[in-house]
A and B are shown apart, each in its own frame.
Chain A
């Protein structure tokens, strides 16, 4: 059972964490480097009216890359893996919704700007390729949400410590009960 856990952790969870987390860190750094272009990209999706919700678009342009960066780093080191995975999963769902909005509105001609000025697998123009790419990225998200970060994650070290502390406190309380029992 333990060998299986190790195998799963080394072959699935660890590569998934490094791959997905690294991808989001890379994407975040590209966006943080050019917030202006990312703000234009969000405006280009035409989900929010820039006249009415301009400040919201600017706030999103500043916040989204940092959320990607923090969640990506947490995923790589395996600390609070489920929370980081959930955050990235939610963002992927929002991205997919935005992409579908552009695809189904032929009057919108938007660039993805998913990785700044770089193209990963797909061209920069919004299309089904980006949707498929994001859906594929959701697969490890679902898996990591279900199984956690694995043995090689920092979470497992903290969980072990917590378990030891819990078992110690449990054994202490048991001893106290025993003592009380003896005294009784």
Chain B
């Protein structure tokens, strides 16, 4: 008898939790997403993984070659094999990211807070899914024009979801030119490129 009462109570708690969750979903202004939204209007899928958008980005990178500008970083790094290290399909190589950095693109670090504090790409802002809706995240976003080129990085590699998540949220917020650096901060630092630590 007591056992049945407990099971009934558990079901009631779960049911009430579900109803509260539905209520919260209705009251929320921005829908919860799991990946970047489709950029084409004829797509039938509501949820699309960020990979597809990253592929679009690759097309954009290839069709819109970045104008070569005087490199502000010392030339010896140009020969560093790390610059052309293979990256997951659709993501920026270190060389492409460096060129964008020299062109004044905005860089966003989406690793853990303590990793960011210990060292990050010079001028990079800290923005992750956790801080996105916080005052800190909103303050960071106001400094970036929606049409600016934004490069997002984390620890690098295919499994680094943090960059994809931040990209999806930025895209939802109206940012249009978003790219992901295929290598992580460690590779950037190992190539001798400019870094800084949080004060």
| Bound Cα distance A156, B17 (Å) | 25
A40 and B18 contact, CB distance less than 8 A = no
Residue of B nearest to A33 (CB): B133
Residue of B nearest to A55 (CB): B47
B129 and A36 contact, CB distance less than 8 A = yes
Contact pattern, B 10-32, Cβ under 8 Å of A = 1, otherwise 0: 10111011101110110010101
Residue A7 interfacial (CB < 8 Å): no
Segment of B72-80, B84-92, B157-165 engaged in the interface with chain A: B157-165
Give, as a whole number of angstroms, the nearest-CB distance from A175 to chain B.
27
| Bound Cα distance A117, B162 (Å) | 13
A117 and B130 contact, CB distance less than 8 A = yes
B159 and A108 contact, CB distance less than 8 A = yes
Q: Beyond A36-B129, A37-B129, A124-B112, is A50–B49 a contact (Cβ under 8 Å)?
A: yes
B18 and A54 contact, CB distance less than 8 A = no
Q: Beyond A43-B161, A107-B159, is A83–B9 a contact (Cβ under 8 Å)?
A: yes
Interface size in chain A (residues, C-beta < 8 A): 45
Q: Beyond A51-B47, A124-B112, is A67–B17 a contact (Cβ under 8 Å)?
A: yes
Interface size in chain B (residues, C-beta < 8 A): 43
B132 and A37 contact, CB distance less than 8 A = yes
Which chain A residues lie closer than 8 Å to B145 at the CB level? Answer: none
Which chain B residues lie closer than 8 Å to A64 at the CB level? Answer: 17
Which chain A residues lie closer than 8 Å to B34 at the CB level? Answer: 39-40, 43, 50, 54, 57-58
Residue A166 interfacial (CB < 8 Å): no
| Bound Cα distance A59, B24 (Å) | 11
Residue of B nearest to A107 (CB): B159
Among A49-67, those with CB < 8 Å from B are: 50-51, 54-55, 57-59, 61-67
Give, as a whole number of angstroms, the nearest-CB distance from B6 to chain A.
5
Among A39-97, those with CB < 8 Å from B are: 39-40, 43-44, 50-51, 54-55, 57-59, 61-71, 74, 80, 82-84, 86-87, 90
Give, as a whole number of angstroms, the nearest-CB distance from B123 to chain A.
23
Which chain A residues lie closer than 8 Å to B128 at the CB level? Answer: 37
For B9, give its contact among A50, A66, A67, A86 (CB under 8 Å).
A86
Which chain B residues lie closer than 8 Å to A84 at the CB level? Answer: 9, 13
A40 and B25 contact, CB distance less than 8 A = no
B161 and A35 contact, CB distance less than 8 A = no
Q: Beyond A40-B34, A50-B49, is A62–B24 a contact (Cβ under 8 Å)?
A: yes
For B25, give its contact among A62, A109, A111 (CB under 8 Å).
A62
Residue A173 interfacial (CB < 8 Å): no
Residue B178 interfacial (CB < 8 Å): no
Residue A21 interfacial (CB < 8 Å): no
Which chain A residues lie closer than 8 Å to B8 at the CB level? Answer: 83
B17 and A70 contact, CB distance less than 8 A = yes
B32 and A70 contact, CB distance less than 8 A = no
Interface set of B (CB-CB < 8 Å, partner A): 2, 5-10, 12-14, 16-18, 20-22, 24-25, 28, 30, 32-35, 46-47, 49, 112-113, 128-134, 155, 159-162, 165, 169
15 contacts between A and B (CB under 8 A): A32-B24, A34-B130, A35-B24, A40-B34, A40-B129, A63-B14, A63-B17, A66-B16, A67-B13, A70-B17, A82-B2, A83-B9, A83-B13, A86-B7, A110-B161
